[in-house]
Chains A and B, each alone.
Chain A
Amino acid sequence: MMFIRATTFFLGVLATLFLGWAGLTLIPGIQIREVKPSSELKPYTEEQLRGRAIYIREGCIYCHSQQTRPEGFGADQLRNWGRPSLPGDYVYDKPHLLGTMRTGPDLFNIAARQPSEDWHLIHLYNPRALSPGSLMSPYPWLFKEEDVFSKEVYAATGERVVPVPKGFAPEDKVIIATQEALDLVAYLLSLNHTYPIKTEK
């Protein structure tokens, strides 16, 4: 009867795990550590970081990627979603939000394609107000619904009134963006990595 000595067995088992670990994370980690931030990449502001936390909290990652594929691999380039993303574009990302799903479009350069704050606020309040056929969840808890008669009051006190199209919000209400909605949109509007990359030779 074949018999593998237990110690040899466990050493072999450990070796296979650590080989994979070293090959897939340690060596690339050392290689990538030397990567410098892309020259025009800015660290996130505090507001953008708060918005990023909401992006994570609401699970945006499960439907939106943040990585653009090179020419000849998918249609990212033909759709003008921005040049292929590089490790240097992600140095301030903790946690990374590369994503693996595109139920909705890639967001790595969403600010370049859709720079309007109004658009993003309306879209978060009710995606179907702007994208008919969309499957995206609405996020009403990022907004306040207030009585219409006080509209001027809110505008005067500096509240952000969201111009939701007729039929997509209660008739007698005015939609006010909370700080969380504004933070999230600030983060989305920071997602622009279309700056050129200087190729070093």
Chain B
Amino acid sequence: MSPDGNPFNIDESPELSARVLSDISVSGPVLAFFTSAVVWLLIGTVFGLTASLKFNFPDWLASLPALTFGRVRPAHLNTIMYGWISLASAGCSIWLTVRLCRVEVRWRKLLYPSVFFWNLGVLYGTIAILIGDNRGLEWLEFPRGAALLIAVAFVCLSLSILRTFHARQVKHIYVSLWYILASVVWFPILYVIANLPFYSGVTQAAVNWWFAHNAITVWFTPIGLAAAYYFIPKVIGRPIYSYYLSLLGFWSFALFYNWNGIHHLVGGPLPTWLISVSIVASVLMFIPVTTVAINHHLTTVGHFGKLRYSPTLRFVVFGAMCYTAVSFQGSIEALRSFNEISHFTHYTIGHAHLGMYAFATMILFGAIYYTMPRLVKWEWPYPILIKYHFWLVAFGIALYVGSMTVGGILQGLYMNEASRPFIESVEVTKPYLLARSGAGVLILIGHLIFIYLFCLMILRRGPERKAPPWREKMEVVAP
């Protein structure tokens, strides 16, 4: 049986028709999640590029308070994290859950309110930041009202996923499902604890960075990994390399990653033991990351040729490789000797984008490319545009991370050399900040292509095609 089966034909086998029924049961909510995610992707990208251009031309649009760097930058982070990545991950996780539990979705009526409250929360929070109602905590800038809306939306999603899981028709729980189930339990608890009003001073700094890093630990990363664990074997058509490795990978991930947050405060006014604990935990991340990397790589090895034909596989494998890269980088960044240079510099910004873009966003693109034809019963038109999308954003993010890495290291070295005036550490970054804006333009063009294709899918427009792009090509190539 084909791993990337033709979504039009539901009579191929009973197993396949059951799968189509579960797909249909969630197609409405998943489409709603994806569509709103894509809108936030566009808004967030424009905010990001604006913030970057502010470094190149600080007096550009300077009379508009809502577009000052200090407001556009958090607007970028929050629209991308809580808008694009969260909503796309929500759609992805509920879709994977029904697939992996082989049932129709349960408590479906909770999912539309989830989409609604989520979007309302992000909209309210973003407007609040732009008009100056920022709470002053990184990753927690949204006012409590907006945070409450998002928390309610998340709980709705969690309940639907957990209820669907409870009704599962399978004995074996696939590894992707572990990550999703853990995630939907972890994140609401984390988000509520972090938004409690009890903290101040350095304790609040600890809670702040425990949360900010754990948002990545318990939500963005697990869903990315769940998708990679599902789509790589699915598209290639062979099982994951080792079950035991994925077990080890999951539990070491859960155990160590939760302790990483305070590495954002190395050298800061917190108890030394606390910072050391986070550094140790960050280094221990080598274990789950290596495990996952081996598992994904040994599943893919020998099948790299398929990357040419399957857009899903191309995006997901790119993302999975960047997960390995960004995690190793993160472990090294936590070490005091390296942190002394990279802390407080653009290096960290490069690292963040390697994680949240090259890993998380690329995998979500792959997931959307796979899922959409099954949701709207229409094949992606214009495969050549998918190719442009991939290469524009892949080259864009490589340029982004490259320029921030080099620029950031130079900035750190200059900053730590007391004989140089501080302004030299600013001047040295300028060409790299300009390159970063160039990268942002490439990424924005890539996103516009993606959004154009996405709109065609929603409207079921463009040339009608009978099979996924890779299969058409395979038939031409294979005798």
Contact = CB atoms under 8 A, between A and B. Distances in A.
A78 B418 contact: yes
A49 to B, nearest CB: 12
Contacts of A2: 172, 243, 247
Interface in B297-351: 336, 340, 343-346, 348
Interface in A79-97: 79, 84-87, 89-97
Contacts of B433: 135
Contacts of B247: 2
Interface string A25-50: 10011011101000000000000000
B201 A13 contact: no
B132 interface: yes
A172 interface: no
A131 B423 CA distance: 8
Contacts of A35: 201
Contacts of B262: 24
B258 interface: yes
Given A24-B259, A58-B70, A96 B63 contact: no
Contacts of B193: 21
B62 interface: yes
B254 A103 contact: no
Contacts of B138: 61, 100
Nearest to B424: A133
Given A13-B181, A94-B200, A135-B55, A28 B271 contact: yes
Contact of B200 (A4, A25, A91, A98): A91
Question: In this complex, which of B70, B182, B417 has the most chain A Cβ atoms within 10 angstroms of its Cβ?
Answer: B70
A109 interface: no
Question: In this complex, which of A3, A16, A35, A87 has the most chain B Cβ atoms within 10 angstroms of its Cβ?
Answer: A16
A155 interface: no
B186 to A, nearest CB: 5
B270 interface: yes
A139 to B, nearest CB: 7
Interface in B119-142: 132-138
Contacts of A133: 423, 426-427
B400 to A, nearest CB: 17
Interface string A125-142: 001100111111111110
Chain B residues touching A, range? 35 or more
Question: In this complex, which of A24, A29, A141 has the most chain B Cβ atoms within 10 angstroms of its Cβ?
Answer: A24
Question: In this complex, which of B133, B186, B344 has the most chain A Cβ atoms within 10 angstroms of its Cβ?
Answer: B344
Contact of B426 (A12, A92, A97, A135): A135
Interface residues of A, number: 74
A148 interface: no
A95 B255 CA distance: 29
B384 to A, nearest CB: 39
B200 A75 contact: no
Q: Is the interface of A mostly helix, strand, loop or mixed?
A: loop
Given A29-B206, A32-B271, A131-B423, A20 B214 contact: yes
Contacts, number: 219
A73 B340 contact: yes
Interface string B368-400: 000000000000000000000000000000000
Interface stretch (A62-70, A115-123, A157-165, A181-189): A62-70
Question: In this complex, which of A89, A93, A137 has the most chain B Cβ atoms within 10 angstroms of its Cβ?
Answer: A137
B202 interface: yes
A1 interface: yes
A28 B274 contact: yes
B185 A14 contact: yes
A48 B259 CA distance: 36
Contacts of A127: 58
A136 B55 CA distance: 8
Contacts of B172: 1-3
A12 B171 CA distance: 20
B269 interface: yes
Question: In this complex, which of A70, A96, A102, A139 has the most chain B Cβ atoms within 10 angstroms of its Cβ?
Answer: A96
Contact of A1 (B171, B207, B336): B171
B177 to A, nearest CB: 10
A58 B426 contact: no
A74 interface: yes
A92 B102 CA distance: 54
Contacts of B239: none
Contact of B218 (A17, A59, A132): A17
Interface in B163-194: 165, 171-173, 178, 181-182, 185-186, 189-190, 193
A105 interface: yes
A134 B415 contact: no
A104 B65 CA distance: 20
Interface in B410-443: 415-418, 422-423, 425-427, 430, 433
A10 B104 CA distance: 22
B182 A75 contact: no
12 contacts: A2-B172, A2-B243, A24-B262, A32-B206, A58-B68, A90-B205, A96-B208, A100-B265, A100-B348, A102-B415, A134-B423, A135-B58
Interface of A: 1-4, 6, 9-10, 12-14, 16-17, 19-21, 23-25, 28-29, 31-33, 35, 56-63, 65, 67, 69-70, 73-75, 78-79, 84-87, 89-98, 100-105, 127-128, 131-141
Given A63-B69, A96-B205, A104-B426, 10 more contacts: A21-B193, A58-B132, A59-B73, A75-B418, A90-B205, A92-B201, A96-B137, A100-B265, A127-B58, A135-B58
Interface of B: 54-55, 58-59, 62-63, 65, 68-71, 73-74, 132-138, 165, 171-173, 178, 181-182, 185-186, 189-190, 193, 199-208, 210, 214, 218, 243, 247, 251, 254-255, 258-259, 261-262, 264-265, 267-271, 274, 277-278, 336, 340, 343-346, 348, 415-418, 422-423, 425-427, 430, 433
